[in-house]
A and B are shown apart, each in its own frame.
Chain A
């Protein structure tokens, strides 16, 4: 049988079977996830169908809620990239949370210190650059430990998250403390982004999508991007092909950290105008889920982030509508990812 004949035998019946098998692959883990989430919601004494209805209307139900969801897309795209780039090289950067907060700290510092000398868009640009640099350096701390002493980057990045939270606490209570609320002073008005529809939704989403495009081109079309993917597929092969594994590990960490730092800086510049503890609502960890569901593909991260943003914002509304904690969103997100992993829909290792 020649190759041509073989392809001819792929009739519609087989294609249909394949499609059915694929559907089963998705259906079973989705049902599994639904069962676990429903059990959790029932344990909270709420009707799961009500929760679903509230979540849909709270996330995309009207213009205001939709814009809230769109606002959350930007940080989730960026933290998704922060996870996806190092994960492609099989580096476990769990530190997007910390890198986001350090980026926000740097952005607010620059915004307040230079606020008198520079104005408007120049200042917001400087804030964003400072945030990216700071996030990048924070991630590089873990990268340096990894390449110099082969330390476990998971533990180091987790600790850097906790340290970043303390740094935020210090900045908020110490040098830039505002007297009324537990947050820093706001950066000059001209430096913050405007908003569409009178909400937090603004240009930052385009910056995030542009970042996803740039990373996609970088990973698919450039030599360093190829090197990062090669190191993830087979480290020895990458080494034998002449890539400096240490350098590309450091590069992957720096790039991931820059994305997370950008997310933090944008939260300051575009959304809040100040540094607020807890403003990063576990975006770093959610970013891991975003990246995994997108199968680490930079362009798929955008729709994946939109899905998780809807879950996050829908969950936030639940305390008002159904009287249960917004943290139920974390349950939904984690259960989706775990069941997809357990039923081989997602695979981290090849």
Chain B
């Protein structure tokens, strides 16, 4: 393998980690507050679709990416209503939301977006000086701006989650919601903020997929990246800073798959085996994460003893 190939693998591994980095960082906040958002795949799919739609109808790439954020906030509100307010089972609701997202984006794509695709991607931003470091320089400092923003986002989330009172409250809502309520916190409001953050980040991650990696929308363009983000959260132990490294592992697996196909000595390996690598690593992460423990209320709907408002006659 030539040094150019190795450099290409390193550089593209950092580029490919960007979508899952955004999604996983948001998911860490949401799981810390006690909501397991399996619907993350669907949120990413909608984010990618929003970005592609904006670009298709004449917006710039940046506009497309940024407009995925309000879309994510809207999805966050809907999912909060289902997961938290109505106390639906989070796994089943999430899976059904994914099916909804797949159906809706496919139908809308086939109706409005087929044919023309986005051909340009957001240009990389070179940081002078640092970019000339051998190996790491081009990968880390001559990269798409969304990568820098993602790392900054992770740092901010880390600070909020682990160094502020608000973060402590969020984690309390994820570990012992009854205690958090007794301490005078509103578990429902805390989880609203957490789910909204998670969905905005996941939506931006999906949009990043459109504007940097594939360049256009396609049916089921996320192809399991949301689920991979769920595993990255376990790998990063719910810490947004470790999640950067976890996401890089998957970026590397993706990059290897694209680059090693071209290496002649490995030509006997079927192409599908390379494609399987990220999924196999995901399973390995789940198997090897024996020490990892979900925040104890994650996935459990919180139902304090309280009088429910009757919305309709005959309501129980």
Contact B272 A167 (CB under 8 A): yes
A82 to chain B, nearest CB (A): 14
Task: Report the separation of the CA atoms of residues A342 and B301 in the bound assembly, to the nearest whole angstrom.
Answer: 12
| Choice from A159, A285, A324, A325 contacting B99 with Cβ under 8 Å | A285
Specify which chain A residues have a CB less than 8 angstroms from the CB of B234 in the assembled complex: 152
Instruction: State the interface size on chain B (CB cutoff 8 A).
Output: 49
Q: Are B108 and A43 interface neighbours, CB within 8 A?
A: yes
Closest to A285 in B: B99
B100 touches A331 (CB 8 A): yes
Decide: A337 and B289 in contact? CB cutoff 8 A.
no
Interface residues as binary, A145-175 with B (CB distance below 8 Å gives 1, 0 otherwise): 1000111101110111011001101100110
- Is B276 touching A149 in the complex (CB atoms < 8 A)? no
Q: Is the CB of A288 within 8 A of B95?
A: yes
Contact at B96–A166, with CB atoms within 8 Å?
A: no
Q: Is A333 in contact with chain B by the CB < 8 A criterion?
A: yes
Chain B residues numbered 286-303 whose CB sits less than 8 Å from any CB in chain A? 286-287, 289-290, 301
Known: A43-B108, A324-B107. A344 touches B102 (CB 8 A): no
The answer for the CA separation of A199 and B79 in the assembled complex, in Å, is 42
Instruction: Check: A237 CB closer than 8 A to any chain B CB.
Output: no
Indicate whether A44 reaches chain B with its CB closer than 8 angstroms.
yes
Binary interface encoding of chain A residues 329-350 relative to chain B, with 1 for a CB under 8 A from any of its CBs, else 0: 1111111011001111000110
Chain B residues 81 to 111 lying within 8 A of chain A, measured CB to CB, are 81-82, 86, 88-89, 91-93, 95-100, 102-104, 106-108, 110-111
Q: Which residue of chain B has its CB nearest to the CB of A286? A: B99
Residue among A145, A160, A173, A349 having the largest count of chain B Cβ atoms under 10 Å: A349
Chain B CB within 10 Å — which of A21, A43, A331 has the most?
A331
With an 8 A cutoff between CB atoms, is A92 at the interface? yes
Complex Cα gap A173–B275 (Å): 14
Q: B2 interface residue, CB < 8 Å from A?
A: no
Enumerate chain B residues within 8 angstroms of A35, measured Cβ to Cβ.
none
B111 CB contacts on chain A under 8 angstroms: 44-45, 324-325
Q: For residue B290, give the distance in angstroms from its CB to the closest CB of chain A.
A: 5
A151 and chain B: residue at smallest CB distance? B286
> Which residues of the partner chain A approach B186 to less than 8 Å between Cβ atoms?
none
Closest to B283 in A: A159
Question: Cβ of B287 and Cβ of A330 under 8 Å apart?
Answer: no
Whether B279 contacts A151 by the Cβ 8 Å rule is: no
Asked if B312 and A154 make an inter-chain contact with CB atoms under 8 angstroms apart, the answer reads no
How many whole Å from B56's CB to the nearest CB in chain A? Answer: 15
| Residue of B95, B107, B227, B273 touching A327 (CB-CB under 8 A) | B107
Tell me whether A328 is interfacial, beta carbon within 8 Å: yes
Q: Which of B38, B86, B290 lies in contact with A342, CB distance below 8 A?
A: B86
Which residues of B have CB within 8 Å of A332?
103
- Whether B314 contacts A21 by the Cβ 8 Å rule is yes
Complex partner residue of A44 from B107, B270, B282, CB under 8 angstroms: B107
Task: Give which listed residue, B92, B98, B103, B282, contacts A348 with CB less than 8 A.
Answer: B92
Most chain A CB neighbours (cut-off 10 Å) among B96, B98, B223, B315? B96
Query: B103 and A24: CB pair below 8 A?
Result: no
B92 and A327 contact, CB distance less than 8 A: no
Q: Residue-by-residue, is A261-296 near B (CB-CB < 8 Å gives 1, otherwise 0)?
A: 000000000000000000000100110110010000
| Contact (A40, B93) CB under 8 Å given A154-B38, A325-B111, A341-B82 | no
- Chain A residues numbered 189-239 whose CB sits less than 8 Å from any CB in chain B: none
Interface residue count on the A side (C-beta < 8 Å)? 57
Given known A20-B314, A166-B276, A327-B102, contact A155–B270 (CB-CB < 8 A): no
Complex CA gap A329/B282 in Å reads 30
Contact with A along B228-256 (1 / 0, CB 8 A): 00110010000000000000000000000
Q: Which chain A residues border B224 with CB–CB below 8 Å?
A: 158-159, 162
**B134 CB within 8 Å of chain A:** no
**Contact between B108 and A44 (Cβ–Cβ < 8 Å)?**
yes
In the complex, chain B residues whose CB is within 8 Å of the CB of A158 = 224, 227
Chain B residue, CB-CB nearest to A19: B314
Q: Does A25 contact B (CB under 8 A)?
A: yes
Q: Contact at B99–A174, with CB atoms within 8 Å?
A: no
Chain B residues near A162 (CB-CB < 8 A): 223-224, 227, 279
Contact A292 B100 (CB under 8 A): no
Indicate whether A94 reaches chain B with its CB closer than 8 angstroms. yes
A286 to B88, CA, bound (A): 18
Q: CA of A250 to CA of B103 in the docked complex: distance in angstroms?
A: 33
Asked if residues A166 and B227 are in contact (CB atoms below 8 Å), the reply is no
Nearest B residue (CB) for A318: B107
Q: Which residues of A have CB within 8 Å of B96? A: 288-289, 334, 337-338, 341
Q: How far is the CA of A114 from the CA of B275 in the complex (A)?
A: 30
Contacting residues, chain A, for B38 (C-beta < 8 A): 154
Q: Which residue of A lies closest to B110 (CB)?
A: A325
Whether A331 lies near B103 (C-beta < 8 A) is yes
| A118 CB within 8 Å of chain B | no
**Residue A122 at the B interface, CB < 8 A?**
no
Do A156 and B286 touch (CB < 8 A)? yes
Q: Out of B88, B270, B287, which one reaches A149, CB within 8 Å?
A: B287
Q: Say yes or no: B314 contacts A25, CB within 8 Å.
A: yes
Cβ contact within 8 Å between B82 and A145: no
Question: Are A174's CB and B287's CB within 8 A?
Answer: no
* Residues of chain A in range 10-30 having any CB-CB distance to chain B below 8 Å: 17, 20-22, 24-25, 28
Given contacts A145-B283, A174-B270, A334-B96, 19 further A-B contacts (CB under 8 A): A149-B286, A149-B290, A154-B38, A155-B227, A155-B283, A158-B224, A160-B283, A162-B223, A163-B280, A288-B95, A289-B96, A325-B110, A327-B107, A327-B110, A328-B103, A330-B100, A333-B103, A348-B88, A348-B89
Shortest Cβ-Cβ A-B pairs, 5 listed: A330-B103, A21-B314, A348-B89, A334-B100, A327-B106
